[in-house]
Structure 1
Amino acid sequence: VDPDILFQNLFIYVIPGVCRFWRRRLGMTVRFSHVGSFRFCYSTRGTPGGAPSLLLLHGFSANKDMWLPVVQFLPQQLHVVCLDLPGHDGTSRHQTDDFSIEGQVSRIHQSLFDVGLKHFHLIGTSMGGNLAGVYAARFPQDLCSVSLVCPAGLEPPEDTEFVKRLREMEVQKQQNQDLSAESIALIPTTVPQLQDMLDLCSPVFVLQMMKGLLQNRLPHNPFYRHLFECISTEGSRHSLQENLGHITVPVQVVWGQQDQVLHVSGASVIAAALPHSQVALLDDCGHSVALERPRKLASVICSFLSTQEVTNRDVEKKKSC
């Protein structure tokens, strides 16, 4: 990981003005889509054309701007849409909404007509990777292909320490033990807890930036805890794995070799279920691939799209013979 690149990218989580400046510099425009009383917020660049559009889904408690480091390395001619997932940033947060994986997938599907996406390449990371995989299983007619970046929703052969601790907390909860004082690593309430989260996700952060990030996150922690409970239920926890057999579109898997949140062995689970999937394991990279290796991530995605384009062209040639 280049520390300078990572340090620069981390500012998008601390200073909102940096996001606005970066979006303008990259030609990204913030727009809104309405389905009844529900509002989706997204940023977009370009218009649908010959190449497939890209729809990017962020991870738990992040937002659309986490993709800016990657967008800067994507070809200008590509139509790119970065979505705020339900309850995040500019998208509606209704406490009565269904925040399960299936519920979020249904919401995303409802928004796409207004967003202007018809046949596109879907990219998701972490929780967004779980959503992307389940979306591919549910709505294959919408997609040309899908990229799963360190996706949640699997039962890998090995667990990280983070997942082991979550399992311990689940057992304690089943035993009716009081977990009100327990901290979920991805929902910090103090600077030391935030440091623990960053040690999991991003290796470089200075104290002043941590304090700023914590102040930005604290008001949203009740929702993050509610969301975490929704996606950790029996019906959502392994949604991706349960739907792998229903995915028919071409699949790419990207995973950081040093991921401390979701073990890289999850890639082997997808490869076993989908033998034709393309797997890219990135050295010197943890869970936050879009922040740690944005240029490399953009490169492997574009290479995958090029491969699919050649394959589709060959299929069309055979049909015409």
Structure 2
Amino acid sequence: MQNPAVETPASHFADLPATASHGPLRIEYRWLNAAANAAPIAVFLHEGLGSIAMWRDWPQTLCERLGMRGLVYSRPGYGRSTPREHHVKWPVHFMTDQARDVLPALLDALHIDTRERRRMWVIGHSDGGSIALLYAALFPDALAGAVAIAPHLFVEDVSVQSIAQTKVLYETTDLRNKLSRYHADVDSAFYGWNDVWLNPAFRQWSIAEQLTSIDKPLLAVQGHDDNYGTMAQIDTIQDYVPHAQLARLDACGHSPHRDAPDRLNDVIAAFVSEHQ
């Protein structure tokens, strides 16, 4: 539920030029604590069915705890950003494209300069956690640190099974109507995510070896009851990024910011405080 004491900031739109991986994009974004223009920025990267609206008030709560400005945005295909054309299937490497092309282009469009990026924290959940890891690996000098919440480094059977079950629910229950509150084109959001995860070629996808260039502080968080991934995901992060810190949350599923927000905020705040 939205905190009634906090006024919801307005969403804005940024126009991004075409690149080799995508055409021109219109990205929905929102600033949190915008008046604190001297504070570091926390960039939030949402999950595979997420958007600005799907975060609800958790980014605002965390930014207040950290004393940071927040930048939340709906990735292409989600929320009110440019939808995926329905005949287009996302490629297996779509998360790398998001980290390499979309996020830096958005930072450029918002005039976030090199100095600000070096103080910036990148915080992602699920697919967004994977994108946060990839951004930290691709641009090791353009952030202060990263937090990956329930990220995916490779494809597990439990992930594919849960995503296949979600497709059944989407097509046979009111899940589609529920998700349509958060996306202007709900089929763009759902099938963009669902089709690539159920693509047999995606079973070979892995980003583990790409993470060795991460040298900034990295926190990885996983719930013990996550039905989209096991502890092997964050254990693998530490195999490739030995300085990474891991947090394992009891009685917590795939969405710690909804299942255990206070514990998650405590873990993140302690980590950021240690490394600021």
| TM category, shorter | 0.7 to 0.9
CA positional deviation for 1:271: 1.4
Distance 2:207 2:171 in 1: 29
Q: CA deviation at 1:97?
A: 8.8
Q: How many residues align?
A: 253
Amino acid at match of 2:28: C
Structure 1 contact 144–249 (Cα < 8 Å) conserved: yes
Aligned position for 1:108? 103
Match of residue 315 from structure 1: none
Aligned-pair CA distance for 1:129: 0.8
Deviations 1:42-82 (A, max 9, x none): 12112465542100001011112333342343253410011
1:86 paired with 2:76, answer yes
Separation in structure 1 between the aligned mates of residue 184 and residue 4 of structure 2, nearest angstrom: 25
Distance (whole Å) between structure 1 residues aligned to residue 10 and residue 203 of structure 2: 32
Tell me, which stretches of 5 or more residues in structure 2 are unaligned?
Answer: 18-23
CA distance in 2, matches of 1:240, 1:23: 40
The match for 1:42 is 29
For 1:94 and 1:264, the matched residues in 2 are separated by: 32
Q: Deviation string for 1:224-281 (max 9, x for gaps)? A: 3244334566579634313121222211001111111111221111112212111111
Partners of 1:58 and 1:66 in 2: how far apart? 8
Equivalences for 1:55-74 in 2 at 5 Å?
A: 55-74=43-62
User: 1:267-310 CA deviation, whole Å, 9 max, x = no partner?
Assistant: 1111122121111111110001111112222222221111111x
> Normalising to structure 1: TM-score of the pair?
0.69
Q: Contact 1:101 / 1:236 at 8 angstroms: preserved in 2? A: no
Between structures 1 and 2, the one with greater helix share:
1
Where structure 1 has 5 or more consecutive residues not aligned to the other structure, the ranges are: 1-7, 9-17, 167-182, 195-209, 310-321
Query: Measured at CA, do residues 113 and 258 of structure 1 come closer, stay the same or move farther in structure 2, by a change above 3 Å?
Result: same
The structure-2 alpha-carbon separation of the partners of 1:214 and 1:228, relative to structure 1 and needing over 3 Å to count, comes to closer
Task: Choose from 206, 218, 222 the match for 1:255.
Answer: 222
Q: Quick check: 56-65 or 211-220, which moved more?
A: 211-220
Alignment of 1:49-198 (within 5 A): 49-76=37-64, 77-95=67-85, 100-105=94-99, 106-117=101-112, 118-119=116-117, 120-154=120-154, 159=156, 161-163=158-160, 165=161, 184-187=164-167, 188-191=170-173
Counterpart residue identity of residue 304, structure 1: F
TM-score for both structures, normalised by structure 2: 0.79
Aligned match of 1:242 = 209
Task: Return the index of the structure with the highest Cα Rg.
Answer: 1
Give the one of 205, 226, 229 matched to 2:195: 229
Helix, strand or coil for the counterpart of 1:92? coil
Paired residue type of 1:30:
S
| Percent of residue pairs identical | 22
Distance in 2 (alpha carbons) for counterparts of 1:109 and 1:186: 31
Helix, strand or coil at the partner of 1:281? strand
Question: Given residue 171 of structure 2, which amino acid in structure 1 is its aligned partner?
Answer: T
Q: What amino acid is the match of 1:89?
A: G
1:201 alignment counterpart: none
* Pairwise CA distance, 1:140: 1.7
Partners of 1:65 and 1:301 lie apart in 2 by 22
Cα 1:221–1:242, aligned 2, differ >3 Å: closer, same or farther?
Answer: farther
Secondary structure of the residue that 1:284 maps to in structure 2?
Answer: coil
The amino acid that maps onto 1:39 is R
